[in-house]
């Protein structure tokens, strides 16, 4: 976008007239409006392509902010925490994400967007902090769970969600 606007600027800046004339041959009086139109179309096209690229990545463009992703998980990963998380998951998440986290819960079909697949090993590319943030914030149609579940409960859910996807990397990324 920046380039587009600077191109506009060059055309209108009287001081740059020399440079513009040198690079663009047709110097007739109708050239500037035509150029502006072409540039405008070009800029629009660029924005359009960018938007398409973003939507092509589909389900994976929801990213937690770096600061949130760095947040350390304060809850030890043990069977007790996972069991608590499992219970909360059944109540709050299963309707959409399904019993095993594949995104095939009873409510999933009626959603305008498919629930994320929590069994994908790629889940391990996200930190605990990032998953915690997503549970806390939500992203329509996924609701925010900041009010429904306490912080402790949300970390328990993170610990449970970790059991849904096979960890293909030997060690889980901590950063
Ligand atoms: C109303 C349906 C719904 C409920 C309830 C719901 N989710 Fe989601 N969830 C979604 C949808 C839809 C997405 C995809 C959002 C996106 O990618 O923008 C999603 C995405 C996610 C993601 C991100 C997956 C990824 O690939 O990064 C996580 C993690 C997640 N949900 C966990 C949970 C947990 C844990 C709960 C319960 C506390 C929960 N969700 C409850 C619908 C739901």
CATH topology of domain 61-161: Cytochrome Bc1 Complex; Chain D, domain 2 (1.10.760)
Count how many Cα atoms sit within 13 Å of the Cα of residue 31 in the half-sphere of its side chain.
12
pLDDT of amino acid 83: 98
Q: Is 113 in the pocket of ligand 1 (CB under 6 A)?
A: yes
Q: What's the count of helices (H) and strands (E) in the chain, helices before strands?
A: 8, 0
**Ligand 1 centre distance from Cα of residue 50 (Å):** 25
List pLDDT tens digits, range 30-60: 566 665 655 665 545 544 444 444 444 444 5
- For ligand 1, atom 1, name the residue with the nearest CA: 142
DSSP SS3 for 26: coil
State mean pLDDT over 153-158. Answer: 98
User: What local confidence, expressed as pLDDT, does residue 77 receive?
Assistant: 96
pLDDT digits (tens, 9 = 90+) for 59-112: 458 999 999 999 999 999 999 999 999 999 999 999 999 999 999 999 999 999
- Where are the domains positioned within the chain? 2-56, 61-161
Q: What is the chain's mean pLDDT, rounded?
A: 78
Give residues with Cβ within 8 angstroms of 4, minimum separation 6.
39, 42, 43, 46
Ligand 1: which of 104, 107, 112, 116 to mutate, most ligand atoms within 8 Å of CB?
A: 116
77 lines ligand 1 (CB under 6 A): no
Atom 26 of ligand 1, nearest CA residue: 116
Q: What local confidence, expressed as pLDDT, does residue 24 receive?
A: 47
Of 94, 103, 72, the closest CA to residue 160 belongs to 94
- Residue nearest ligand 1's atom 43 by CA: 142
């Amino acid at each position: 976008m920046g380039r587009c606007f600077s191109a506009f600027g060059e055309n209108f800046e009287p001081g740059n007239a020399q440079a513009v004339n040198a690079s663009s041959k047709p110097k007739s009086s109708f050239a500037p409006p035509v150029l502006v139109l072409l540039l405008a179309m070009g800029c629009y096209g660029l924005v359009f392509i960018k938007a398409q690229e973003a939507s092509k990545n589909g389900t994976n463009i929801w990213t937690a902010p770096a600061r949130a992703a760095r947040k350390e998980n304060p809850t030890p990963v043990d069977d007790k925490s996972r069991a608590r998380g499992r219970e909360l998951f059944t109540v709050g998440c299963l309707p959409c994400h399904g019993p095993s986290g594949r995104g095939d819960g009873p409510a999933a079909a009626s959603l305008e967007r498919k629930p994320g697949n929590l069994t994908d090993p790629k889940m391990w590319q996200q930190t605990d902090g990032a998953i915690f943030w997503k549970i806390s914030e939500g992203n329509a149609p996924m609701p925010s769970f900041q009010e429904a579940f306490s912080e402790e409960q949300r970390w328990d859910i993170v610990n449970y969600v970790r059991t849904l996807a096979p960890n293909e990397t030997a060690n889980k990324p901590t950063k």
